[in-house]
Amino acid sequence: MSNLEKIQKVMRVLQILSKIILILAIVGLVLTSVGAILVASDVLNTENQFLHFLSAAAEITKGQLVGTLLAAAASLLFGGIFTAFVYRYFTAELKEGTPFTSAGADRIKQLGIMQIVLAVVSAAITDGIYEKIGLSEWNRFDDAGGITLGICLILIAMVVRYGAELEHKKQS
């Protein structure tokens, strides 16, 4: 088995994993959004055992619970958006048969930039929500990992572009 075949197998596994993560992000987004709507509309209230447990254990109000669910939904939304583009990258790469193309390098660079932007926007929104509901000490979303991942993707894009140039020279 050649190195390219090994890379393609890994890419196929990563494509499947990204699809699973995307599905989980969508399910989580729907559940947190529905939960926030149900709590906000008093369908779920402190009389329910589950919410009574949460409000007693965490000492949070209904508004704070809705805000926490909305912050989680926002985080899942931005994670899902990025994961959808990652899945698209793996699909395109598998179709091309090699990661070492100029188009592939451009897609990886776009993923890196997108990850940085989405990490900053997600952090700003979740920070704003937690500040608004008075639970800023609960917010542990700094998204430094997302920014670091974005930078690493941009660097990987440079390596892939170099590999594409070597492939082009080899074919010429």
Residue 130 contacts residue 139 (beta carbons within 8 Å):
yes
Residue 60 contacts residue 54 (beta carbons within 8 Å):
yes
- List the chain pLDDT tens, one digit each, 172 residues: 788 899 999 999 999 999 999 999 999 999 999 988 988 887 766 666 666 656 555 677 778 888 988 999 999 999 999 999 999 999 999 999 989 999 999 999 999 999 999 999 998 998 899 889 887 776 666 677 889 999 999 999 999 999 999 988 888 8
> Cα-Cα-Cα-Cα dihedral of 103, 14, 112, 118, to 10°?
130
Q: Tokens in use for 113?
A: 């930039």
Residue 36 contacts residue 69 (beta carbons within 8 Å):
yes
The predicted pLDDT at position 45 comes to: 66
Q: Tokens in use for 128?
A: 């704003």
3 state DSSP class of 105:
helix
DSSP letter at 45 equals -
- Please compute, for residue 14, the number of CA atoms within 13 A of its CA located in the half-sphere on the CB side: 17
The predicted pLDDT at position 56 comes to: 57
pTM confidence score: 0.86
Place of tokens 């639970």: 135
Query: In angstroms, rounded to a whole number, what is the distance separating the alpha carbons of residues 152 and 10?
Result: 19
Residue 110 contacts residue 146 (beta carbons within 8 Å):
no
> Cα-Cα-Cα-Cα dihedral of 117, 118, 123, 124, to 10°?
60
